[in-house]
Structures are given as C-alpha cells and as structure tokens.
Amino acid sequence: MEPKPWRDRVRDEEELLAQLNRAVSEAASRRAEALREGVADLGTVAAVARDLGRSWQAVDQALKRDQRKKASQEDAGTTE
C-alpha cells in the first residue's frame, strides 16, 4: 500500500483543523451562554467566577469575546 501523497495529507489535515476550530468556537459559545445563565442566577460576574474558582477577568473576557463574535456575525449577515 502506497502512502498518501503529501498534498492529500496536507488537505486532510487542513480540513481536520477547520473542523476542530468550528468545534472550539461552538463550545466557547455554549460556555458563554452557561456563564450568562450563571450571572443571571448569582447576580454578578464576580460571583460566578468565585463559584467556579476562576478570576472575574477570565469570565468577563469569555463573555465579551462571545458578544463580539455574535456582533460580527450579525454585521456580516446584514451586508448582503
């Protein structure tokens, strides 16, 4: 059995990386949604961070990143 040509292997790995990036992005969005629910439940970002044993900055940044991503997706959808 001959090994796959290098171009095919590169193409396969690029597709795998794209799939993994999509999975990471989707997981980050689901995490941000859960964090928003935590803020609604506990009242503050700091309370959520304390409950999770994380810094409030980490929680805040995750929420802001998701908010920016959603805003850019909405902007992209309105430029048709």
E strand spans, the chain: none
For residue 32, give the nearest of 76, 78, 79, 71 by alpha carbon: 71
Whole-number Å distance between alpha carbons of 17 and 61: 24
pLDDT score at 74: 85
Whole-number Å distance between alpha carbons of 59 and 13: 32
Token pair for residue 66? 């998701």
pLDDT score at 76: 82
* pLDDT digit string, tens, across residues 12-42: 999 999 999 999 999 999 999 999 999 999 9
Token pair for residue 40? 């609604």
Return the residue matching tokens 């859960």: 34
